[in-house]
Every structure is written in structure tokens, then in C-alpha cells.
Amino acid sequence: MAANGATGRNGLAKIHTEKKADEVCHDDSTTPMKAQTIDELHSLQMKKSAPTTPLNGIQGPFAAFSEEERTKQQLQSISASLASLTRETGPKVVRGDPASKSATPRVVSHHHHVSPTISVSDSSLKFTHVLYNLSPAELYEQAIKYEKGSFISSSGALATLSGAKTGRSPKDKRVVRDETTEHDLWWGKGSPNIEMDEQTFMVNRERAVDYLNSLDKVFVNDQFLNWDPQNRIKVRIVSARAYHSLFMHNMCIRPTAEELENFGTPDFTIYNAGQFPCNRYTHYMTSSTSIDLNLARREMVILGTQYAGEMKKGLFSVMHYLMPKRQILSLHSGCNMGKDGDVALFFGLSGTGKTTLSTDHNRYLIGDDEHCWSDNGVSNIEGGCYAKCIDLSREKEPDIWNAIKFGTVLENVVFDEHTREVDYSDKSVTENTRAAYPIEYIPNAKIPCVASHPKNVILLACDAFGVLPPVSKLTLAQTMYHFISGYTALVAGTEEGIKEPQATFSACFGAAFIMLHPTKYAAMLAEKMQKHGATGWLVNTGWSGGRYGSGSRIKLAYTRKIIDAIHSGSLLKAEYKRTEVFGLEIPTAVEGVPSDILEPMNTWTDKKAYKETLLKLGGLFKNNFGGFVAHKIGKDDKLTDEILAAGPVF
């Protein structure tokens, strides 16, 4: 041991450090240190953003003042949104994260009247910090720091939990019934509009506003709906979670800095206090969840559910009211466009394939879920897509797979605790796992998301009975019959409490979101299809070879081939034969699809069971349509009669 050199007392070699003249140790780095303290160093890391609100022409000494003035106006508007209507004052709002010391304390409070000191409660003394239109990166940080259950997935998405509710709660959606809505809206049997009165709305609104104001910080998103510039709607979403803010950032249209500068007052405001329940002693409340729409006030209140789809679909309901007033048809449909400009709509209830089939590598995506059809053509209402991701496969749905990256919200998925790799087959949290991403994450999205008039209108049904053909060509009357019926077998999970597929009829393929009587939308659709010569198709993306349990779901690859043949126009020219009971025209051959599956009866081994099931489904259709026979569709009696005759006959 210690063969050479000096040894210390314990026998170990001494460590020699050569001392230079100045007696200071230097490392290799020659870069001079620009900061004197740690705090200074950290302050260097972030540079000031280019103003989110560019100074429209104002330069020179007044520029700084006007930016300040603008920020003040913005805060005043937010304070007004958050005002308690009983105390008549808005909260003191301040911009920026309460956790960040450098946040400028630019305090603004909104007063209707100057009424000092008399009824001041503690809530009017505290500040509410406003996190206004944060970027995805900032929202990630907020979510990860403060929201339990937020993680970064291996592909960079923000994995979150939506809490106890993992689907919408249609039974808890209420609409204020007043003199206007009393006459305008669809009420009663079958209608999604469960009534509440103005007073109760205000009670819930106050509850939500007080809850939001009690927090240290709230998120505010100012965004747009509808890519048609003439019919754009300004929306404000006030929420308590970074998850909700990022979700809406992705799903609504994102304003440019300049558009944000000129945003002004919103046309519609959502108060999302979803973490806080409604008060069950409040009139009308039947659970601790309430989603309340007040069209006169242009406001929506969410209590007792954190499922983000409530905001998306709540706004869709609003569009279903506002757009038809302007002679514009609102549609629960996907939309895409071919290289030659041919446009297709994809209608269908939740889980029938709107997102999957409108996301098509060979076509431009206009949108996956909500559209308007005006005299100018089709426009997407949203700025993002909301894809189901149960059993998502990279191979079958590559564009959706690749869209799940930084910026995307991934709801309720299960992932590996170490690698953070998502297991898309895992239903432990829910079957209704979802990804919300900005539409430009799909490489062939068309921006702006507008297109000309549709050539094909494809009605998607996921038939758990396995008796509807994979594809049939419809007459206009049949298209209307199936549009009004809105049949599918609901795939588990998107609506609370549905665990097994079951036959469902939902008028206009979205009765949960329509506000007027279904025949109003149907009449508009018929008129537009007629005027623009669109062809209707019924595509079964559901079962073949037997009903749910014995048959199996039609292969996505086959459905895609069928859709390709519709787009190309080749299916229009095919040879057809007519089916029993439903009287559907089915093609004898489709390129790339085994011909024997085109006729469902061929795929069933038990022909008797097939016939029974077919009649059973026919009966369900008849029974459902009974609710509509007394209504006229459009001004034309002839069309109404044709539609009534276009259902199953047996």
C-alpha cells in the first residue's frame, strides 16, 4: 500500500492541489457570469413576450400607456364577468400567477355603483389572480404543479383525470325557460332541454362565481367559435383548472394577438366551477351536478362535473340556437374535402366514427364534430378535435396517434408508472378515454376550416344488432327519415351510466345538443341537400355476422374502402339491390371489400335469428318515429309524406 508519495496519518495518499498565485480555484469555463445572484440568474431565463396585444399603429411615447390602458380594460372586463350580481361589485382581479413574485399587481375591480364600505365581506378584500389565455407550456406547468393526476405522457401529451365524471351528464343539463325560449325551444318529451327558471339559474350562477372568486386564481380563455368570419362568436371561459383551460385552448379557435387586442366583450361566457357541487336544496336540482344554460344572459354555469366535454358540447348547444336564427344549419358532423374539392359530411352519434373517418390521410380535414352549413358552404365551429382513444392503434389511425404529442390533453388514460407510455387498451378509469388536440396537429387539416357545399352526406350508425348493411344509398326521403331517427347502438361511456351497447335514437344524430324541434333542422337539411344535389348514404360501422356478443365489429379497413368509394363517385355508379324491411339500396360490389359482407343476411349463420333481429330493429325504428308523425317537415306536404313512407315496411 502507498508504495510511493507521502502518506497521511491514516495511510491514504494526500491529495495535492496546486495553488496559483491568486489562491482561487477556477473551472474550465471562460464565459463570464452575467448575474450576481441566483435570483438575477433566474430572471435572465425568461424574456418578456412580444406583446400579446400588438400596438396597432400607436407608436412613440403613448405606446406604453396604451398597452397599460388595454390591460386595464381587459381586467375590467374579466372583473365584470366574475361580478357577484347580488353585491354588484366585481372581485379585485390581478393578472398573473399568485406563485410568481414578479407578477405585476395591476389591480382592477369592477363597480356598477360606487357604494363604499357598507356591505364589504372578506371576499371583496382578496385578490383573484387571472391567468389569461396562457400558452400550452404555461398550462402544463400549472397542471403539473397544482392538479393531482396530471402527468406528461411519453409522447409529450398532458395526461389528466376528469374526476368522478368521465362522460357528459345529459340528465343534469338545464335551460332557462323564459318568454322567449318558451316559444323558440323544443320542450317536453324527447327534448334535451330540461327547464329551470331564471331565479334558480341566478342561484347557481352566484354559487359558481363565489366559488371561482374564492380561489387564488382562475383561468380565463377568450376565444372564437366558427371559422366563417361573418358568423364568428366570441366566447369567454372562466375555469378553475389548467386542464380545462388547455382543453378549451385546443377545442375553440385560437385568436391571434391582434384579434385578442380587439376582443372586447364576449358574446357568451362559461363559468366552469365543476369541482364544486350545486346545492341540492336549490329548486330543480336532482343531483349534485348541474349544467345550466341561460340564452338571454348568454351564460352557462357548470357545477359538479369536471368532464371537459360539457363545455365543448354546451357551446355547441348555443350554436344550435344562434345559427338557425340566421338561417344557418348547425350539424353534429365531421367534414372533409377531397383533392378536387368534393366535400363530405359525416353524421353520427358518439362513437360511430365521425372523427375516425373524417381524419383521412387522402383528404383535407375541415373538422371532426361540429359544423355549420350556410349559403356559403360548410364551416367548422371548433379549432380542435376530440378523438376517442380506446384501443387506439398507430397502424389503423396514424394521424390521430401522431396528434397525441406536446399540447394535447389526454383524458383518463392509463400509463406505465415509469415510462409514461399509454396503454390505450386499458379501460380501468373509463372506456371513454379521449384526446383533445388543435386541428393543425392533423397534417392535412385545411386552415381556415371552411369548404364548399357537400356532395355526399354520410349517416353513420354503429348497429349493435348487426342487421343494417355496411353501406346503402339513400333517397332524400330516406336520408331525412334516418336523420330524424338518429339511430345507433351507443358505445359505452360517453354518456354517464351507459356501460353496454344498446339501441339508441337521438334526433338529428345529436338530440342532446339541439335546442329547436328536430324537424326544424331536418327541413333545413332537406332544403340544402336538394339545392346542392347532395347524395345521402347510410354506413353501418357496427356489427356484422351477428349481433353484439356473437358477431364482430366491421373492420375499419373495410369501412374506409366503402367511404373511399363514396368519395370517388364510383359507388354512385354501382349496381344495387333493395333490402327487405328497411328498403335500403345496397351495392353488389365495393372495391376492396368482400362482397358477401355487403348483404348482412349472408354473414349470419342463423338466418331465422337474423330475420327476427331485423324485424325487432324495424319495430324499434317505427316505435321511435311515432313521436314525429304529427309534424310537418318544411313547407312541403309531399316531402313529409315521403319521409313517413321511407321507414321500415313489414
Ligand X SMILES: O=C([O-])CC(=O)C(=O)O
Does 351 help bind ligand ATP (rule: CB under 6 A)?
A: yes
Q: Which window, 119-127, 194-202, 306-314, 541-549, contacts ligand X (CB under 6 A)?
A: 306-314
| Interactions with ligand ATP, residue window 507-546 (CB under 6 A) | 541
Whole-angstrom CA distances from 10 to 4, 15, 17 are 15, 13, 19
Q: Which of 77, 162, 221, 494 binds ligand ATP (CB under 6 A)?
A: 494
Q: Helix, strand or coil for residue 600?
A: helix
Does 496 help bind ligand ATP (rule: CB under 6 A)?
A: no
- Catalytic residue status for 126: no
* Of 453 and 555, CB closest to ligand ATP: 555
Closest distance between ligand ATP and the C-beta of residue 157, in Å?
Answer: 16
DSSP secondary structure string, 251-278?
A: HSBPPPHHHHHT--S-SEEEEEETTSPP
Closest distance between Ca ion and the C-beta of residue 434, in Å?
Answer: 8
Whole-angstrom CA distances from 4 to 10, 11, 65 are 15, 11, 75
- Is residue 490 within 8 A of residue 506, CB to CB? The reply is no
Q: Helix, strand or coil for residue 306?
A: coil
**Per-residue x/- marks for ligand ATP, 198-227, CB under 6 A?**
------------------------------
d(CA 16, CA 32): 28
- Catalytic residue status for 168: yes
- Catalytic residue status for 638: no
Q: Which window, 51-59, 308-316, 567-575, 615-623, contacts ligand X (CB under 6 A)?
A: 308-316
Q: Helix, strand or coil for residue 535?
A: strand
Question: What DSSP state is assigned to residue 68?
Answer: H
Does 554 help bind ligand ATP (rule: CB under 6 A)?
A: yes
Closest distance between Ca ion and the C-beta of residue 396, in Å?
Answer: 16
- Catalytic residue status for 636: no
- Catalytic residue status for 313: yes
Does 456 help bind ligand X (rule: CB under 6 A)?
A: no
Question: What DSSP state is assigned to residue 122?
Answer: G
- Is residue 534 within 8 A of residue 454, CB to CB? The reply is yes
- Is residue 530 within 8 A of residue 523, CB to CB? The reply is no
Closest by Cα among 465, 289, 309 to 386:
309
**252, amino acid identity:** C
Closest distance between Mn ion and the C-beta of residue 350, in Å?
Answer: 6
The entry of Mn ion, ligand X, ligand ATP, none that residue 309 binds, CB within 5 to 8 Å by partner kind: ligand X
Residue with cell 371537459: 308
Report the relative pairing of strands 422-423 and 414-415 from DSSP bridges.
antiparallel
589 — phi, psi (to 5°)?
-150, 145
Q: Which of 129, 354, 446, 517 binds ligand ATP (CB under 6 A)?
A: 354
- Catalytic residue status for 87: no
- Is residue 461 within 8 A of residue 347, CB to CB? The reply is no
Q: Which of 109, 317, 333, 355 binds Ca ion (CB under 5 A)?
A: 355
Q: What angle do CA 174, 482, 641 make, to 5 degrees?
A: 105
Does 313 help bind ligand X (rule: CB under 6 A)?
A: yes
Exactly one of 168, 520, 528, 553 is catalytic; which is it? Answer: 168
Does 356 help bind ligand ATP (rule: CB under 6 A)?
A: yes
Closest distance between Mn ion and the C-beta of residue 369, in Å?
Answer: 4
- Catalytic residue status for 434: yes
Residue with cell 415509469: 418
- Is residue 225 within 8 A of residue 232, CB to CB? The reply is yes
**Per-residue x/- marks for ligand X, 376-405, CB under 6 A?**
----------x-------------------
d(CA 270, CA 578): 49
Active site members: 168, 313, 332, 350, 354-355, 369, 434
Q: Give me the residues that bind ligand X (CB under 6 A), please.
A: 168, 309, 312-313, 350, 369, 386, 494
Q: Give me the residues that bind Ca ion (CB under 5 A), please.
A: 355, 369
Q: Give me the residues that bind ligand ATP (CB under 6 A), please.
A: 348, 350-357, 368-369, 386-388, 390, 494, 541, 553-554, 556, 559
